[in-house]
Structure 1
Amino acid sequence: MNLKRSSALVGLVGVVAVASLTACGSDNNAASSASGSVTPASSASCAGKDKLSAAGSSAQKNAMDQFTAKYIEVCNSKGKSKNVAYTASGSGDGRTQFIAKQIDFAGSDSAIKGDQAAKAKQRCAGTDAWNLPMVFGPVAMAYNLPGVDNLVLNGETIAKIFDGSVKNWNDPAIAALNPGVKLPDQQIGVVYRSDSSGTTDNFQTYLTAASHGAWTKGAGSDFVGGVGNGSKGSAGVAQAVRTTPGSIAYVEESFAAQNKLQTASLDSGSGPVALSTEAAAKSVAAAKFANPASDDLTLDLKAMYSSNEPGAYPLVLASYDIVCSKGYDADTAEAVKSFLTSAANEGQQGLGALGYVPLPDTIKTKLMTSINAIAPAS
């Protein structure tokens, strides 16, 4: 898929500039909004305060730029001026700022849980913070290996690469997955996220589920493989792979596409599957909620990551918006509900062209129930 992005930042202004892809400089590069007109009958109320603030996931940034552009158009059509300022500072920082009440909501590629969830409850006037999955996107196994254009990997081999057990590109474990391919006798250069990252958490969760026991390091937002070189942010990782022959990294497909990186096909037991929106959508459709009866929509990703469904690309990241369930003042609650309503509807138009998977109906239905349940503190 081709990704078009711009270098415009979405700030606290009344308009969004949309430009063509220029250079890759940071995670704050903005995405172009989807083509086509906004649905005039949007169900977003455009109520509440005029400016929302958010921060967190860099993987979510391109989608958030589109959501904001669409929201501005919707509200302008209703005679209201609204905006959302989103800073792509990383999932860990987003959760920290949300807990500290520095932003209205956080973007995170990992659900808020444990001690952070308890602190978020204090921030939300004694009510729970909810994890609402707004964005899905495939994570690429991006590599730089001139002459090897159709690399195939599986969960077990990736685990061994990222824990240092497999060190060379012509290792028998890689060769077995790539018959007839001339693999170089070259050391593998592992690149990982140096900052606290939900992408890292999802990647290590995938390895735990898909490596048949080869990955024993656990998950979490910090890389625990113990090998390689770290780079900050998704853009930093992609740039490191682009400039380092023999390297490999996990990075969102949009950044891999932007940097024109090679991406491996994944074989979960039913044959190699190349990364594509359609193949990722097959995996997303199988996602389940950890607690189906709750308005907190944390996903149980085990089934998706361990699936061997033919044609499904399993390594898909779910990115949440973390919100207070009933802990905002009235103006903030109305604005958050309105923005997320727009994001879940017209905001999904054209996301495939940006490297994301639009929300399937099974998730969108639950999501709208949760959004409508957001209420001010009593």
Structure 2
Amino acid sequence: MQRTGEENDLTRNRSLAAALAVLGTAALALTVLTGLAGATSKKDSITGAGSTFVAPLVAQWTAHYSAADINYSAVGSGAGIAQISARTVDFGASDAPMTKDQFSACHGCVQIPWAFAATSLPYNVSGVGYGLKLTGPIVANIYLGHIKKWNDKRIKAINKGVNLPNEDIVPIYRSDGSGTSYNFTDYLSHVSKEWKNKIGKGTQPAFPVGVGARGSSGVAAKLGSTPGGITYVDVAYAYKNAYHIAKLRNRAGRFILPTVRSLTVVSKTVKRVPKGNAISVVDPPKTVKFGYPLCTFTWVIVPIQTAKAPQLKSFINWAVTKGQSYGHPLLFLPIPKVVVTAAKKTTAKLHT
């Protein structure tokens, strides 16, 4: 029997778990070796902090970029913005575009889009396999506390033939300042008026129910030890931990997994980059029939004036061009050409 495109994508994505484990080990080894070499070399060094979402990709960049030693701490987007604002690092990384107040506090910083991926919705439901169907409004009602059981009639209605247990739903969220939380709540604000009016979007929203954990690795670990749990995390972490991931209904009415195909069609919708480089691609229009509705860009944040301007310009320009090739096994797809152009244009502003 001939496989559908989605089944082929799913087969390829399941193999990512093993690939990610190998990449993680290799990146760690190479990072250690890079650090040891740096102790005796005269290479420049650049320090950064922030997003845990983009950390797997930055680990690959750290291992393969040869012009400088890159030292990156995955402390969360909020902490990364705080550290670059305080100038305790050379760059920050965030999965949420900065607010006006954050720009003001950063005293002359710019945000540069440098990666594109997706937020997945993994779950730990007894007896339920891969690809449980969910909709945006259902997810919003789970995190609002309105849907409390996995066999709720609204979930059953779109999952015919699935034996859903009478199991408590445990929403798991990021307790730290998180760009992934921004992406998730930006999406929920698009699909639920109640969410938009009561909670809204942000890096550290006031989730009314559930349990919190720090970082992508924290929520992933919490999910593994929580029967009935559901969370939101970058797709690389979900595949690395071999979690079951939900199919999310898009505006075209199709239930879609985060795959290379479903992310690619969303990235192709970006035809222009707004001033300030704040790009949102959540909940794309119904014309994007096979698009996954919870995609995001992620940004590097740097001061326009900095003593490390030459090193940062070289690294960022490499990251948005040659560095993109290291993202595919992690489901970070190459950023569109129009975004590369905007990134280079902004990077060119950096000076000492």
Q: TM-score range by the shorter chain?
A: 0.7 to 0.9
Q: Secondary structure at the match of 1:157?
A: helix
Note if 1:107 corresponds to 2:83: no
- The aligned counterpart of 2:315 is 339
Amino-acid identity (%): 30
Which of 96, 99, 103 matches 1:117?
Answer: 103
Asked if the contact 2:110–2:302 (Cα under 8 Å) also holds between the matched residues in 1, the reply is yes
- The aligned counterpart of 1:321 is 300
| Pairing 1:26-105 to 2, within 5 Å after superposition | 50-72=44-66, 75=67, 82-105=68-91
CA distance in 1, matches of 2:294, 2:144: 18
Letter in 2 for 1:56: G
| Pairing 1:363-374 to 2, within 5 Å after superposition | 363-374=339-350
CA distance in 1, matches of 2:196, 2:218: 25
Letter in 1 for 2:338: T
Letter in 1 for 2:268: A
Letter in 1 for 2:325: Q
Deviations 1:165-220 (CA, angstroms, capped at 9, x unpaired): 11111111111221222211111011111111111111001100123555531011
- The aligned counterpart of 2:7 is none
Which of 129, 144, 157 matches 1:176?
Answer: 157
> Cα distance 1:343–1:114, how it changes in 2: closer, same or farther (>3 A)?
same
CA distance in 2, matches of 1:374, 1:210: 38
Single out whichever of 362-371 and 87-96 deviates more from structure 2. Answer: 362-371
Which of 210, 213, 216 matches 1:231?
Answer: 213
CA distance in 2, matches of 1:343, 1:98: 19
Q: Secondary structure at the match of 1:304?
A: coil
| Pairing 1:283-362 to 2, within 5 Å after superposition | 283-287=266-270, 291=274, 294=275, 296-299=276-279, 301=280, 304-308=282-286, 309-325=288-304, 327-329=305-307, 332-362=308-338
CA distance in 2, matches of 1:288, 1:323: 25
- The aligned counterpart of 1:158 is 139
Deviations 1:55-79 (CA, angstroms, capped at 9, x unpaired): 000111111112222221xx3xxxx
CA distance in 1, matches of 2:271, 2:196: 23
User: How far apart are residue 306 of structure 1 and its match?
Assistant: 4.4
Q: Secondary structure at the match of 1:51?
A: strand
Q: Secondary structure at the match of 2:261?
A: helix
- The aligned counterpart of 1:30 is none
- The aligned counterpart of 1:22 is none
Stretches of structure 1 lacking an aligned partner (at least 5 in a row): 17-47, 76-81, 122-127
Q: Secondary structure at the match of 2:232?
A: strand
Which of 261, 271, 285 matches 1:278?
Answer: 261
User: How far apart are residue 110 of structure 1 and its match?
Assistant: 1.2
RMSD: 2.1
- The aligned counterpart of 2:6 is none
> Cα distance 1:272–1:196, how it changes in 2: closer, same or farther (>3 A)?
same
| Pairing 1:196-235 to 2, within 5 Å after superposition | 196-211=177-192, 213=194, 215-216=196-197, 217-235=199-217
Between Structure 1 and Structure 2, the one with more helix by share is 2
Deviations 1:211-256 (CA, angstroms, capped at 9, x unpaired): 3555531011113221011111100101111121211000111111
Letter in 2 for 1:6: G
Q: Secondary structure at the match of 1:314?
A: coil
Give TM-score, length-normalised by structure 2: 0.86
> Cα distance 1:14–1:282, how it changes in 2: closer, same or farther (>3 A)?
farther
Letter in 2 for 1:87: S
> Cα distance 1:243–1:269, how it changes in 2: closer, same or farther (>3 A)?
same
Give TM-score, length-normalised by structure 1: 0.80
Letter in 1 for 2:164: L
Asked if the contact 1:289–1:297 (Cα under 8 Å) also holds between the matched residues in 2, the reply is no
CA distance in 1, matches of 2:37, 2:170: 42
Asked if the contact 1:156–1:212 (Cα under 8 Å) also holds between the matched residues in 2, the reply is no
- The aligned counterpart of 1:6 is 24
CA distance in 1, matches of 2:332, 2:175: 24
- The aligned counterpart of 1:134 is 114
User: How far apart are residue 273 of structure 1 and its match?
Assistant: 0.9
CA distance in 1, matches of 2:271, 2:111: 14
Deviations 1:271-329 (CA, angstroms, capped at 9, x unpaired): 111121221122222246663xx4x3121x1x53243321100101321000122x113
Note if 1:145 corresponds to 2:125: yes
